[in-house]
A and B are shown apart, each in its own frame.
Chain A
Amino acid sequence: MQNVIKKPIQRNKATDLLVHQILKGLAILAASFIFVIAGVILIKGLTPFITNNGGIGSVNAWKFLTGNTWLIGDTFASNLYSVGFIIIQTLYVVSLSLLISFPVGVLTALFIAKIAPKKIAEFLRTVIEILASIPSIIYGLFGAGFILKLVYDFSAILGYQSKGGNSVLSTVIILALMTIPTITTISEVAIRSVDKSLIEGSLALGATETQTHFKVVLSAAKSGIFTSAILGVGRALGEATAVSLVAGSRRSGLSFDILDTTSTLTTTMLEGMKDSAGLDYDIRFSVGIVLMAVILIVNFTLNYIKKKVGQVDVK
């Protein structure tokens, strides 16, 4: 009798163990992809610097990181690829876009969380949600069809011949529009979770509501707001297709003129995707390494600043 009952229980135990191991394997598989990505990009991206590249000669890593020209295409068949100016252009464009999207995003979040009546807040929240879910290619299309014309006319008024509107300005506008929803959503959560007693205390001390919002609520939610900026910067740095439609692919020379064409690391990677072998193909992975490095460094720096800022204000 006992044997009869024991058998199914043992079998169940065996299945349990098997299922446990399979599910564990799936989790490990999902987690291991980050190593796969990092490994592949590193191996492929370092090739141009160490091999001869089929007679062209290896790319000089120092020149690659600091140089001022990006020569791509069969006609050149050179090893003169450098992303130095592109790194700076990327950071320039992203920080300008943050200059627009950060205040707008945070103020929108403040409006939704604290000022607007319930119905308007709900409506705005839906608007932000839809904006966040619009694919980037549509932002790019909107930029190419609408913003470019505006920028072109604007530059014409200034007596400036821009390349059909492809410029730093258009790129900045598109990136700002794309990051506003990210910043708003995260900031709103931070602002809403500010302790009520802080607000009431401020009001009781005679501060007006607006003063309370700007001086108490925003500074109490500082850490969350900073996180939203970090995420926004991350999205802006990694954005590719939308930017490639409005940037105007600059090949050489650093320029801080907002009506001049520009290039970012991502648009450089997208440009002229044709060959599936050779230096023109491998060099994209090197740009990929640079992009990942830039994202990591920017993230660490911002997180460091966030810690510092947070520490000063803890009372």
Chain B
Amino acid sequence: MLNKRKTKDLVLQIVTYGAAFLSIITLSLIVFYVASNGLKLLNIDLIRNNYLAVNHIADIDESIPFCNCEPTKEFKNDVYYSDKWGIALIDDRDLLGKNIVEVYYVHPESPFNEMINKGVGTDVLKLGLNASIIRIAYEDQATSLSRFGAERMILELDLSNSIRELEFTTPGGGIRGSIITTLYLIGLTLLFALPIGIGAALYLNEYARKNKFTSTVRSLIETLTGVPSIIYGLMGLAIFVPFIVNITDATGGNIISGAMTLAVILMPVVIRTTEESLKVVPDDYRFASLALGASKTQTTFKVVLPNAVPGILTATLLAIGRIIGESAALVFAIGTVVKDQIKLTGQSTSLAVHIWSMMSDEPANIELSTTIALIILLIVLILNLSIKFITKNFMKRYGVKA
């Protein structure tokens, strides 16, 4: 009898330990998966570069003299430099594994700094770093192609005296546009959500009487938290998008409508967190201020609110975390077109939607997606730690009186 009980206990204990262990496994698997796939592409170029590679065809301005200059820095062995043109090239592979010739260095006096654009767009083109050269056609000899490598291209460049045209591609696969969009979204959303959220929290905590009206308002706001974000997206699509299209030059989903949608999603979070921090502010502060002759408004805004700032900061950080991670609502309210030129009234993607947009394409770009995921994970982690830190200090300040 006792033995049977012991075995049963042991089984239950093992099951419990196993269950608890599962979350650790999940977290390590996710972190390991994201880090192992994403680290490869993580570098500063990724953040600076455009997502879409652009093809340019350019002509050298004949009036600019040859460079004939020494490079201003030392090169590794596999970099090939042309004194005459002031340009260094290197062999590389693109994301698809094809051989490409990349621009490694351009001398400040090189004619490649000011080329004539033969296509549409600006008149003057600059050959940027990491651009990949597709072909160089000369007046006086056969064309150099990228598939013969950087060394041969430099040799042929040195032999030639006149370039007829140069075809090159700007580096793509960067996430500059999505980062800017995400920053815009964070700024605008907070601009919409914080005043309304803090105002509502102030009313509910400082002014509202305990009556039916207040409890109704409270429960309505609470109901908002249960609505899935995709439904918010539909609302944004149906109300905010047409509204912005009417008052600006936007034609479809845009960043402003996306930010308004996010603001509605975040409202309950901001209200709840702010209210909690207002509750922690001791009543003595309010009485003291009122007794000194300050009006209710002065007490609220000059005494209560400043003392609740850490709580509002927590609300802001929580909101930023949600904005960075939100995807379903933004798919509807902004759209899924990855852009490089960011306009407040135009479509573009936040980092999370960028992942979704690449993953739902065929074939899915898992490498870049995991890299973005790694960035998001890092930001979320930092935000979480800061929230913990702030809350801890805040609670310490007022003791556990609340």
Contacts and interface: CB of A to CB of B under 8 A. Distances in A.
Contacts of B369: 141, 145
Report the interface size class on chain B: 35 or more
Contacts of B216: 31
A213 B373 CA distance: 39
Interface string A235-252: 001111100110000000
Contacts of B360: 244-245
A26 B203 CA distance: 8
A37 B227 contact: yes
A137 B224 CA distance: 21
Interface in A101-151: 103-105, 107-108, 110-112, 115-116, 124, 127-131, 133-142, 144-146
A124 to B, nearest CB: 6
A36 B235 contact: yes
Contact of B355 (A129, A141, A240): A141
15 contacts: A26-B200, A30-B221, A34-B223, A36-B235, A116-B20, A131-B23, A138-B325, A144-B359, A145-B369, A180-B23, A234-B226, A238-B228, A245-B360, A270-B331, A288-B230
Nearest to B238: A40
Contacts of B238: 40-41, 44, 285
A237 B229 CA distance: 11
B370 to A, nearest CB: 7
Contacts of B13: 115, 210
Given A31-B220, A144-B359, A240 B328 contact: yes
Given A16-B295, A145-B37, A208-B9, A128 B300 contact: no
B19 interface: yes
Interface residues of A, number: 82
B23 A137 contact: no
B12 A210 contact: yes
Contacts of B195: 26
B155 interface: no
Contact of B230 (A26, A29, A238): A238
Question: Which secondary structure dominates where chain A touches chain B?
Answer: helix
Contact of B332 (A23, A145, A234, A273): A273
Contact of B12 (A40, A131, A214, A266): A214
Question: Which secondary structure dominates where chain B touches chain A?
Answer: helix
Interface string B67-87: 000000000000000000000
B370 A115 contact: no
B380 A135 contact: yes
Of listed A19, A177, A237, residue having the most chain B CB within 10 A: A19
Interface stretch (B27-35, B89-97, B143-151): B27-35
Contact of A240 (B224, B228, B383): B228
Contact of B321 (A44, A133, A234): A133
A269 B360 CA distance: 14
Interface string B261-279: 0001001100100000000
B259 interface: no
B207 A127 contact: no
Interface string B327-357: 1100110011000000000000000110110
Interface string A56-70: 000000000000000
Given A26-B195, A127-B24, A181-B23, A145 B217 contact: no
A297 interface: no
Given A40-B235, A273-B332, A22 B199 contact: yes
A13 B29 CA distance: 60
A135 B376 contact: yes
A20 interface: yes
A12 interface: yes
A240 B229 contact: yes
B308 interface: no
B23 A241 contact: no
A127 B22 CA distance: 11
Contact of A237 (B30, B228, B264, B336): B228
Given A23-B207, A127-B24, A285 B331 contact: no
Given A26-B199, A133-B384, A184-B23, A33 B16 contact: no
Interface in B181-235: 195-197, 199-200, 202-204, 206-208, 216-217, 220-221, 223-224, 226-232, 234-235
Of listed B24, B297, B380, B384, residue having the most chain A CB within 10 A: B297
Given A133-B384, A142-B34, A241-B328, A292 B231 contact: yes
Interface of B: 5, 8-9, 12-13, 15-17, 19-20, 22-24, 26-27, 29-30, 33-34, 37, 195-197, 199-200, 202-204, 206-208, 216-217, 220-221, 223-224, 226-232, 234-235, 238-239, 241, 252, 264, 267-268, 271, 295-298, 300, 321, 324-328, 331-332, 335-336, 352-353, 355-356, 359-360, 364, 366, 369-370, 373, 376-377, 380-381, 383-384
Nearest to A271: B360
B19 A107 contact: yes
B297 A16 contact: yes
A209 B241 CA distance: 59
Contacts of A52: none
A67 to B, nearest CB: 22
B20 A124 contact: yes
Contacts of A112: 20
A211 interface: yes
Nearest to A22: B199
B217 A111 contact: no
A291 interface: yes
A198 to B, nearest CB: 19
A15 interface: yes
